[in-house]
């Protein structure tokens, strides 16, 4: 997250330059990359998995299979983007799982029951999602209920609302959305992944290169200090709750378009926040607040998708997948702790 580009300084520095540039070999470069860039270590894992699965099953890197991996990566990575913003600001949102499933229904209600035009119906669903995010933020930040508990509550409340209004039955994609809209927003081959990459890049830049990102890190790292510096912590945190909800809703709508049905069990409920948190954590985001990486979460989501897909290809049943997933989370958390200690105490 710190700047790697060294600007040529006209000013004389006190003391010797921090790092002699001459005596660097590949190994120390790698070590530095691992220490400085949390994304680097998980990227190595992603590439290693790719090589391993390609070696065992040569269809792994074919067009069709890559599309499968992309489809598994994209929704998780989009939800994880919002989750990282929240984790960095020191909060969490479990209700994204239900926002994800509810948003396509809201879109369907608006379009089919209230005859709202297609695009407007989608936008309205996203606006309602922003409202859900605001509500989560209000309960957590203004009423001071820990966000884990607050969003657990909204998770079930939204699930109840969803099952009641849909009678727990799937619905069809509204007629006006078939064709171009459905294709652009998820059904076309690489649509979901393209949106995902755009979202990840945009929010990665937001987190690392804008005031919003800097203030998000500040309120997560030292909320008292950030407030004393005049940062409006409530606004930042509630804003991030809203971003997380809207992203989850958008991912849900695209997923519904892709699977071509609006299903109340879309995404598997609690599976969504859990996988998103897993992707974030494997990608190098700590739950303690103050640090995290969205690019890392994207690679984390990719690793999860590769594992799932690779296991399928090899013919291992889906059940040990969770064993691997659990192991991966634990290993990456331990590594994260170790690396951040190194980062703190070691030289830059």
Near other proteins by CB under 8 A, which window of 7-15, 57-65, 77-85, 295-303? 7-15
Using CB under 8 A as the binding rule, whether residue 165 contacts other proteins is answered as no
Using CB under 8 A as the binding rule, whether residue 235 contacts other proteins is answered as no
C-alpha angle with apex 90: 85 to 96, nearest 5 degrees? 55
Pick the binder of other proteins from 31, 115, 211, 260 (CB under 8 A).
211
Using CB under 8 A as the binding rule, whether residue 285 contacts other proteins is answered as no
| 235 CB burial (10 A radius; 0-12, 13-18, 19+) | middle
| Cβ distance to other proteins smaller for residue 165 or 222 | 222
Near other proteins by CB under 8 A, which window of 45-53, 104-112, 204-212, 313-321? 204-212
Tell me how far, at minimum, the Cβ of 228 lies from other proteins, in Å.
Answer: 4
Cα–Cα dist 110/106, whole Å: 6
Residue 145: both structure tokens together: 């209920």
Using CB under 8 A as the binding rule, whether residue 209 contacts other proteins is answered as yes
Using CB under 8 A as the binding rule, whether residue 11 contacts other proteins is answered as yes
Pick the binder of other proteins from 26, 55, 228, 317 (CB under 8 A).
228
Cα–Cα dist 334/149, whole Å: 25
Tell me how far, at minimum, the Cβ of 313 lies from other proteins, in Å.
Answer: 40
Q: What is the DSSP letter of 20?
A: -
Q: What is the DSSP letter of 344?
A: H
Q: What is the DSSP letter of 6?
A: P
Pick the binder of other proteins from 21, 26, 143, 224 (CB under 8 A).
224
| Cβ distance to other proteins smaller for residue 199 or 303 | 199
Distances (CA, A) of 61 to 40, 290, 313: 22, 37, 11
Near other proteins by CB under 8 A, which window of 102-110, 179-187, 224-232, 328-336? 224-232
Using CB under 8 A as the binding rule, whether residue 64 contacts other proteins is answered as no
Contact yes or no for 162/104 (Cβ under 8 A) = no
Residues 6 or more apart whose CB falls under 8 angstroms from that of 78 comprise 195, 196, 199, 200, 247, 248, 250, 251, 254
Tell me how far, at minimum, the Cβ of 338 lies from other proteins, in Å.
Answer: 16
Tell me how far, at minimum, the Cβ of 305 lies from other proteins, in Å.
Answer: 29
Distances (CA, A) of 270 to 2, 27, 126, 225, 241: 34, 41, 20, 34, 17
| Cβ distance to other proteins smaller for residue 18 or 315 | 18
Cα–Cα dist 185/232, whole Å: 35
Q: What is the DSSP letter of 262?
A: B
Residues of this chain that interact with other proteins (CB under 8 A) are: 2-3, 7, 9, 11-18, 205, 209-211, 214-215, 217-218, 220-222, 224-226, 228-231, 290-291, 343-345, 348
């Amino acid at each position: 997250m710190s700047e790697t580009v060294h600007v040529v300084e006209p000013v004389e520095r006190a003391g010797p330059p921090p790092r002699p540039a001459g005596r660097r070999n590949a190994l120390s470069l790698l070590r530095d990359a691992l220490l400085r860039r949390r994304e680097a270590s998980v990227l190595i894992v992603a590439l290693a998995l790719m090589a391993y699965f390609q070696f065992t099953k040569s269809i792994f890197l074919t067009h069709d299979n890559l599309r499968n991996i992309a489809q598994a990566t994209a929704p998780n990575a989009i939800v994880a983007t919002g989750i990282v913003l929240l984790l960095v600001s020191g909060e969490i949102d479990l209700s994204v799982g239900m926002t994800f499933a509810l948003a396509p229904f809201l879109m369907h209600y608006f379009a089919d029951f209230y005859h709202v035009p297609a695009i407007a119906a989608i936008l309205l669903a996203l606006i309602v999602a922003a409202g859900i995010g605001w509500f989560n933020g209000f309960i957590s930040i203004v009423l001071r209920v820990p966000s884990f508990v607050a969003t657990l509550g909204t998770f079930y409340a939204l699930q109840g609302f969803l099952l009641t209004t849909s009678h727990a039955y799937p619905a069809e994609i509204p007629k006006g959305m078939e064709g171009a809209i459905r294709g652009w927003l998820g059904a076309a081959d690489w649509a979901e992944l393209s949106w995902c990459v755009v979202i990840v890049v945009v929010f990665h830049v937001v987190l690392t290169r804008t005031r919003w990102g800097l203030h998000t890190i500040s309120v997560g790292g030292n909320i008292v200090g950030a407030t004393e510096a005049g940062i409006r912590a409530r606004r930042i945190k509630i804003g991030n709750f809203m971003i997380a909800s809207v992203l989850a809703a958008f991912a849900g709508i695209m997923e519904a378009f892709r699977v071509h049905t609006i299903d109340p069990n879309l995404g598997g409920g609690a599976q969504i926040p859990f996988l998103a948190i897993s992707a974030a954590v494997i990608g190098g985001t700590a739950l303690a607040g103050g640090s995290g990486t969205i690019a890392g979460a994207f690679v984390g989501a990719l690793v999860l998708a590769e594992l799932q897909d690779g296991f399928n290809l090899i013919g291992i049943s889906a059940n040990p997948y969770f064993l691997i997933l659990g192991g991966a989370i634990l290993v990456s958390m331990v590594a994260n702790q170790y690396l951040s200690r190194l980062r703190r105490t070691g030289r830059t």
